[in-house]
């Protein structure tokens, strides 16, 4: 068995003030409500940003398709302007 030294008596704790604790509760509740409102607004903003992203991705795919179509038309146009091999040159 280990011998322990006698403890010094503790000083009595001061009682917590109830009015201060009650006063903080509405402020904390208000802060929680405010944070929740910010979270909801951020979620709405994220949804809107995802819609914008989808629109941009669609526009990018359409642009690529349009560029391919333009290249195809340019090739066809060059073929029309080429003199035919069987025709005599003047």
pLDDT in tens, 7-66: 666 666 665 555 555 556 899 999 999 999 999 999 999 999 999 999 999 999 999 999
Cβ atoms of 89 and 83 closer than 8 Å? yes
Q: pTM of the entire structure?
A: 0.54
Q: Is 44 exposed, middle or buried (0-12, 13-18, 19+ CB in 10 A)?
A: exposed
Question: Residue 83 — very low, low, confident or very high, per pLDDT cuts 50/70/90?
Answer: confident
| Domain definitions of the chain by residue range | 24-81
């Amino acid at each position: 068995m280990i011998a322990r030294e006698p403890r010094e008596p503790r000083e009595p704790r001061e009682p917590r003030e109830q009015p201060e604790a009650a006063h903080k509760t509405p402020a904390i509740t208000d802060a929680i409500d405010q944070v929740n409102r910010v979270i909801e607004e951020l979620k709405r903003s994220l949804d809107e940003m995802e819609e914008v992203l989808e629109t941009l991705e669609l526009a990018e795919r359409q642009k690529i398709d349009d560029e391919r179509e333009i290249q195809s038309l340019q090739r066809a146009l060059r073929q029309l302007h080429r003199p035919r091999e069987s025709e005599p040159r003047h």
